[in-house]
Structure 1
Amino acid sequence: MACVRKLIAQLMKFGIVGVIAFVIDWGILNLLVGAFHMHNVIAATISFIISLIFNYLASMKFVFKHREDMARWMEILIFVAAAVVGLFMNDLIIWISTYGMNRDAFVSQHAEYLLRTNIGKLIATAVVMVWNFLIRKWLLDDTHTNAMNRLRSAENKLSAEQLEAKWQNSFSHRLGVWSLEHTPKGWQK
């Protein structure tokens, strides 16, 4: 039960950070498309990157716990790689949302273009949010420490030894250990 409560609390924090990042993303997107008549995919890319910077800083401070078995550079690399996939999904969905609109009638259709861009942005946000949470939870969150704490506080089906063996063999842990072993000399781990 404590496990479910922690997951719900983490999802709520993720949601709050996500809502703030969305407001930043959506506001910049609408400013660039609405006021400056910028192409929606270019504007979406710019707004996404700006909100991503906020999202990384807030997520790693308030939502996900840094793993001691992973170098910070790997954490950033995973975050950026996942963000690139998220950006591709975001831009593709926004592009599809206005696909087929007559470019010659752009000025007369600007309100429809903006509306369709915003509908696409809402859909893209939902898709990318699920992607971000799953990939970050899997590769960045310190699930091992959380699992060991749950094991100490309640009866579990897995013993401490089984849980530790499972963790040691996980892709996430092996990637973290590899990153520590391959951190350039002089870099902070």
Structure 2
Amino acid sequence: MDNARLLNKSNSTAAQFIRYVFVGGGATVVQWGILVLLKEAFGINANLANAVGFVGGLVFNYIISSIWVFDTSSVKNKAAEFSAFALIGVVGLLINQGLIWLFDKALTGKDLFGGIIPQNKYYLVGQVIATGLAFFWNFFARKYLLYNKTEEKQ
């Protein structure tokens, strides 16, 4: 794959996936930054802090994805496009929230990691697992449900 296909918009799924890794990484930094800041500095519940972080990451992801990752939306109205983009993201958030809750609440009190990870940081383990699962869901759902133009013939 040449650099031009990676840098310029393309309907190539491989090029879009690679660009989405960078965009998703940036959105993850935004989401995690807000999550950890709110949880650690302000003592806010991990699920609430994660939801606020999700909104920040979602906005970042939408702006950069619509500029750089996906070529053409199947939805022409920008408000409807953002709503569909967000709805797909909400499914990822539900995956994320469920795993954060599991590790922050349901598994607290259990010594899962032999003391290597303090129990009050288990929510971060859930966040790591959820980030991977949500990443794949978000990319493929957005690619095939929202930005579903067929690939260009090369």
Relative to structure 1, the CA distance from residue 59 to residue 81 in structure 2 (aligned partners, 3 Å threshold; closer, same or farther) is same
Gaps of 5+ in 2: 3-10, 110-117
2:82 is aligned with 1:83 = no
Displacement after TM superposition at 1:143 (Å): 2.2
Aligned twin of 2:119: 112
Gaps of 5+ in 1: 103-110, 154-189
CA RMSD of aligned residues (A): 2.3
**Distance in 2 separating the partners of 1:49 and 1:43:** 10
2:67 is aligned with 1:58 = no
Relative to structure 1, the CA distance from residue 85 to residue 142 in structure 2 (aligned partners, 3 Å threshold; closer, same or farther) is closer
Relative to structure 1, the CA distance from residue 140 to residue 40 in structure 2 (aligned partners, 3 Å threshold; closer, same or farther) is same
What's the % identity of the aligned pairs?
32
Aligned twin of 1:122: 128
CA shift digits 1:92-125 (9 cap, x unpaired): 11000122336xxxxxxxx532x21111111111
Alignment length (residue pairs): 137
Aligned twin of 1:133: 139
Relative to structure 1, the CA distance from residue 58 to residue 10 in structure 2 (aligned partners, 3 Å threshold; closer, same or farther) is same
**Distance in 1 separating the partners of 2:41 and 2:29:** 17
Bigger radius of gyration, 1 or 2?
1
Q: What is the TM-score with the length of structure 2 in the denominator? A: 0.79
Displacement after TM superposition at 1:142 (Å): 4.6
**Distance in 2 separating the partners of 1:36 and 1:77:** 30
Q: In the alignment, residue 10 of structure 1 is paired with which amino acid?
A: Q
Q: What is the TM-score with the length of structure 1 in the denominator? A: 0.65
